[in-house]
Amino acid sequence: MAFRVAQISDTHLSEQHPEFTANFDVLSEHLRADAPDLVVNTGDLSAHGELERDDLAFAREKHAALGLDWLAIPGNHDVGNDPQLNGPTPADAERLSRWLGILGADHFRRDVPGWRLIGLNTLLTGTDLPQNEDQFDFLEEALATAGGRAVALFLHKPLCEETVAEEEITYWAVQPRPRRRILDLLARHPARFIASGHVHQYRDRGTVEGLRQVWAPAAAFMVGDTWQLPVGEKPVGYLEHLLHEDGRHECRLVQPQGMRRHDLGLMPGIYPAMRPLVAA
Ligand SMILES: [Fe+2]
Ligand SMILES: [Fe+2]
């Protein structure tokens, strides 16, 4: 019997946004019936947790009400974004401590038959907070002591957009410098797969540059092609990972009936207005 992980992502929960709560409620009902062994939320649990505590508390309540074993790592809307982006809400000590106070640990390690699951706070990796070094120590140790276990790595931001050699500072992926640090550790102790969220696109990249990478779709909304370049598919739903004890991994997209495919570009007022892409 494989261990079943439901990877949900980008739930963007807030009492102010009933459309996203409705999607989460449909997803919750589906998950309760399906009863995976573990639910992992790969970040952006909240809509505006980087600004105030209420959305984080609401997200915690909604996850607790699943009645399932669950773990979560933060996204940029939970703890702020990479300081390199020079945006108004950088990840910092205050935002991190708000998450820690309400949702608990921001990274995790969980052993299940044949596997070690590791979740990282990718927003911390762009900061110079002391907790960033602690997390790299944690990762190094978790990889070095995995023994014969297959390793699954869960991140909010994908490790890269197209290639690990990218040098641009972008909104979409782990920044180049922490990416190199993670890759150095993975070179010594490889991961069987890397699963991420954040882009609100489903993309099974297969194995590229020796890394098996898969991007989870969002649960709350997608962003239409008018505003966001499609590099994968844009359903709403989640990923089911089947972890076989012998290290085999299967992954599939699940789209529970009743989840609505909201287009954020058509929902003004939730986030700053989006600008249409200009054709090159
Ligand atoms: Fe998101
Ligand atoms: Fe995000």
pLDDT tens digits, 123-147: 999 999 999 999 999 999 999 999 9
* d(CA 115, ligand 1 centre) in Å: 27
156 alpha carbon, closest ligand: 2
Q: Which ligand is nearest to the CA of 45?
A: 1
Q: How many A from CA of 197 to the centre of ligand 2?
A: 7
Distance 35 CA to ligand 1 centre (A): 24
Q: What is the pLDDT of residue 279?
A: 57
- For residue 43, how far is its CA from the centre of ligand 1 (angstroms)? 7
CA of 114 to the centre of ligand 2 (A): 30
Query: Does the pLDDT at position 224 exceed 60?
Result: yes
Reply yes or no on whether the pLDDT at 82 is more than 80: yes
C-alpha 126 – ligand 2 centre gap (Å): 14
What percent of the chain clears pLDDT 70, i.e. is strictly above it?
A: 99
Per-residue model confidence (pLDDT) at position 278: 74
> Which-ligand-closest: CA of 172?
2
As residues whose CB is below 5 A from the ion ligand 1, the structure lists: 10, 44
- The arithmetic mean of pLDDT across residues 180-190, rounded, is 97
Instruction: Provide the mean pLDDT of the chain.
Output: 97
Q: Is the pLDDT score of 210 beyond 80? A: yes
CA distances from 9 to 6, 147, 250 (A): 10, 29, 18
Distance 135 CA to ligand 1 centre (A): 22
What is residue 273's predicted lDDT score, i.e. its pLDDT? Answer: 85
Per-residue pLDDT, averaged over 241-260, amounts to 98
Q: Which ligand is nearest to the CA of 201?
A: 1
Residue of higher predicted confidence among 74 and 273: 74
Q: What is the CATH number of domain 3-266?
A: 3.60.21.10
Give the distance (Å) from ligand 2 centre to CA of residue 251: 21
Q: What is the pLDDT of residues 9-61, one digit of tens each?
A: 999 999 999 999 999 999 999 999 999 999 999 999 999 999 999 999 999 99
Domain boundaries, the chain: 3-266
For 56-191, strand residue ranges (E) read 70-72, 108-112, 115-119, 150-154
Where residue 243 falls (left for φ over 0; alpha for ψ -120 to 50; beta otherwise) is beta
Q: Helix, strand or coil for residue 136?
A: helix
Instruction: Output the CA 29–ligand 2 centroid distance in Å.
Output: 24
β-bridge pairing 70-72 and 38-41: parallel
DSSP β-ladder status, 115-119 and 108-112: antiparallel
- For every residue of 18-37, DSSP letters joined together read HHHHHHHHHHHHHHHHH--S
Asked if residue 280 has pLDDT above 90, the reply is no
State in Å: Cα 69 to ligand 1 middle.
22
- pLDDT tens digits along 116-125: 999 999 999 9
pLDDT in tens, 143-174: 999 999 999 999 999 999 999 999 999 999 99
